[in-house]
């Protein structure tokens, strides 16, 4: 499992992020405080505070480089 910080501060970003990660068969969780939601759920994402970075947990043993390349626009430097 790998965790990274991402920013989803607009509706368009949320939509394109979900479309980007649904191509993978791995599980993705978004963690904000004590809340953990499925990162492939648009409704779940909108239940979070999107004004600050969110932790993304990627439950994949392989292909993490490919996943990170796809989600690069959302990563917090």
Q: pLDDT tens across 14-37, in order?
A: 999 999 999 999 999 999 999 999
**pLDDT band at residue 38 using 50, 70 and 90 as cut-offs:** very high
In angstroms, the CA 1 to CA 8 distance is 21
| Cβ neighbours of 9 (radius 10 Å) | 13
Q: Identify the pLDDT of residue 47.
A: 94
- Provide the pairing of β-strand 2-6 with 35-38: unpaired
| Cβ neighbours of 57 (radius 10 Å) | 15
What DSSP letter does each residue of 8-19 carry, written as one string? --SHHHHHHHHH
**pLDDT band at residue 41 using 50, 70 and 90 as cut-offs:** very high
């Amino acid at each position: 499992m790998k965790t990274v910080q991402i920013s989803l501060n607009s509706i368009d970003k949320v939509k394109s992020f979900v479309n980007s990660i649904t191509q993978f068969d791995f599980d993705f969780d978004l963690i904000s405080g004590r809340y953990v939601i499925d990162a492939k759920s648009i409704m779940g994402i909108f239940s979070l505070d999107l004004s600050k970075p969110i932790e993304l947990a990627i439950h994949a043993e392989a292909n993490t480089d490919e996943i990170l390349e796809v989600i690069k626009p959302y990563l917090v430097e």
